[in-house]
Amino acid sequence: MIVSMQERATEEQIDAVIEVMEEAGVSVHRTTGAMQTILAGVGPTANIDLSKFEVLPGVLNVLRISSPYKLAGRAFRPEGSVIEFANGVKVGGEQVAVMAGPCSIENREQMFTTAARVKAIGASFLRGGAFKPRSSPYAFQGMGIPGLQMMHEAAREHGLLTVSEVMEISQIEEMSLYVDCFQVGARNMQNFNLLRELGQMRKPVLLKRGIAATLEELLLSSEYIMSGGNYDVILCERGIRTYETATRNTMDISSIPVIHKLSHLPIAADPSHGTGRRDMVAPMARAAVAAGADAILVEVHPNADKAASDAAQTLYLEQFEELMAQLRVIATAVGRTM
Ligand code: PEP
Ligand code: MN
């Protein structure tokens, strides 16, 4: 259930409503928007008489939520969520955020060169995998914590934030020293224990859509994180598996407006994994910004052809620069900045 408070509701009135909701057996999640406070009651609400909430002082209206996700739904934050990072970087606001870097962290030179260039070109996040979910156990598995330390150092030297994939619960604590945003990869979108644990953190999570996941499943996965009190979730469209074989995955651009309609959470687009092909990354990135993506995640590498993983879909830094110039024009056309 969602209880929307009146704009002028006092703290005492809000506390009193929370108390009655808890007495009715739901756990209460509170969000304070620019205009009003919204209280989401999660739990069994089928037998709760909503009219008893409608008459409480300060209440504007009460809704029973029929969708399976309660906290991820638009009604919880009708104006949309803006995730704030250090350095004033925001994801979900007017500006389209840019996350760029190699698939895998490989060495110092690669990370420092990449950091300097992507910062100059306009990215605000440096990405790089240190724990890699590879389809083959014989493929490069990533540098682990020493790699993250390297990425963190390069990012800080150039005023960038870091984003990197966490694969299991045991990695969270040490990773949190080096990452500003945890990435949950497509293969772990339904690793519910990992999601619950990230829900206990107070650090943003970039949650990628699973390879065969519906958008409802993606939103339910975000609910695992949010129900722990961590509301800073950025969803990510990274392509899904269909019967088409011309591209590595099928980039579902329509997921962007669908998510904006269903949810208040920002959505990023990853055209690198979405297509698997260097020559297709730019067209899909342009389409994603035109469709309203709140962030773009792109794999770039100073020597893309030699990247230790995902070389075929990795852009050279020059290509990334050219792409960013195009994206800025598109962003302006759809009322965003970049
Ligand atoms: C990645 O970002 O390098 C990655 C492995 O992504 P995904 O989980 O989308 O395959
Ligand atoms: Mn990759």
**pLDDT single digits (tens) 173-202:** 999 999 999 999 999 999 999 999 999 999
**DSSP states of 277-329 as a string?**
-HHHHHHHHHHHHHHT-SEEEEEB-TTGGG-SS-GGGPBPHHHHHHHHHHHHH
Instruction: Supply the pLDDT for residue 34.
Output: 81
Distance of CA 47 to the CA centre of its chain: 34
Strands (E), the chain: 2-5, 27-32, 37-42, 59-63, 83-84, 90-91, 97-101, 125-127, 161-165, 181-184, 205-208, 233-237, 267-269, 295-299
For 4-19, what is each residue's pLDDT tens digit?
999 999 999 999 999 9
**Does residue 103 have its Cβ closer than 6 Å to ligand 1?**
yes
Residue 86 confidence (pLDDT) = 87
Residue given tokens 């408070």 in the structure block? 5
Query: Which pLDDT score is estimated for 79?
Result: 94
Q: How far apart are CA 136 and CA 116, in angstroms?
A: 32
Element containing residue 54 per DSSP (H, E) = helix 51-54
DSSP 57: T
Q: Is 110 helix (H, G, I), strand (E, B) or coil?
A: helix
In this structure, the chain runs to a length of 338
* Angle formed by the axes of helices 317-333 and 108-121, nearest 10°: 30
Containing 27, the helix (H) or strand (E) segment is strand 27-32
To the nearest whole percent, how much of the chain has pLDDT over 90?
A: 94
209 pocket-lining for ligand 1 (C-beta < 6 Å): no
For the whole model, what pTM was predicted? 0.96
Q: Does 35 score more than 90 pLDDT? A: no
| Most ligand 1 atoms within 8 A of CB, residue of 99, 103, 188, 240 to mutate | 103
- Please, is 109 exposed, middle or buried when counting C-beta atoms within 10 Å of its C-beta (0-12, 13-18, 19+)? exposed
Q: Is the pLDDT of residue 87 over 90?
A: no
Choose which residue among 104, 238, 248 to substitute to test ligand 1 binding: the one with the highest number of ligand atoms within 8 A of its C-beta: 238
CA 182/CA 165 separation, integer angstroms: 6
Q: Distance between terminal CA atoms of the chain? A: 37
Alpha helices in 139-214 (DSSP H): 145-157, 169-175, 192-199
Testing ligand 1's pocket by substitution, the residue of 270, 275, 301 carrying the most ligand atoms inside 8 A of its CB is: 270
Q: What is the pLDDT of residues 203-260, one digit of tens each?
A: 999 999 999 999 999 999 999 999 999 999 999 999 999 999 999 999 999 999 999 9
- The token duo for 206 is 């970039």
Write the pLDDT tens digit of every residue in 246-287: 999 999 999 999 999 999 999 999 999 999 999 999 999 999
Protein residue whose Cα sits closest to atom 9 of ligand 1: 186
Q: Which residues of 7-38 are buried (b: 16+ CB within 10 A; e: fewer)?
A: eebeeebbebbbeebeebebebbebebeebbb
Q: Whose CA is nearest to atom 3 of ligand 1?
A: 103
In this prediction, residue 99 has a pLDDT band, given cuts at 50, 70 and 90, of very high
238 lines ligand 1 (CB under 6 A): yes
Domains and CATH numbers, the chain: 2-66 (3.30.70.1140), 83-333 (3.20.20.70)
- The whole-angstrom separation of Cα 91 and Cα 314 is 23
Q: Measured in angstroms, how far is the CA atom of residue 314 from the centroid of ligand 2?
A: 8
- How many angstroms does the Cα of residue 48 sit away from the middle of ligand 2? 47
CA distance 251 to 189: 17
The neighbouring-strand residues paired with 165 are 183
Q: Is 210 exposed, middle or buried (0-12, 13-18, 19+ CB in 10 A)?
A: buried
Residues, Cβ < 5 Å to ion ligand 2: 103, 310
Residues 6+ apart with CB under 8 A from 177: 152
User: How many whole angstroms separate alpha carbon 323 and alpha carbon 281?
Assistant: 9
Q: What pLDDT, on a 0 to 100 scale, did the predictor assign at position 65?
A: 85
Atom 6, ligand 1: residue with shortest CA distance:
185
Q: Is the CB of 208 under 6 A from ligand 1?
A: yes
Mean pLDDT of 21-43: 92
CA of 329 to the centre of ligand 1 (A): 27
Higher pLDDT, 66 or 306: 306
pLDDT score, position 93: 94
What stretch of H or E contains 211? none
> Ligand 1 in contact with 133 (CB < 6 A)?
yes
The chain-wide mean pLDDT, for the chain, equals: 96
Ligand 1 contact via 29 beta carbon (within 6 Å): no
CB 101 less than 6 A from any atom of ligand 1: no
pLDDT at 211: 97
Predicted confidence (pLDDT) at residue 67 exceeds the cutoff of 90: no
Residue owning tokens 């006092």: 10
Nearest protein CA to atom 4 of ligand 1, as residue: 185
Distances in whole angstroms, Cα of residue 109 to Cα of each of 116, 319, 320: 11, 20, 19
Residues 295/91, Cβ–Cβ less than 8 Å: yes
The mean pLDDT value for 290-307 works out to 98
Take residue 127 and report the two structure tokens written for it. 């990405």
189 lines ligand 1 (CB under 6 A): no
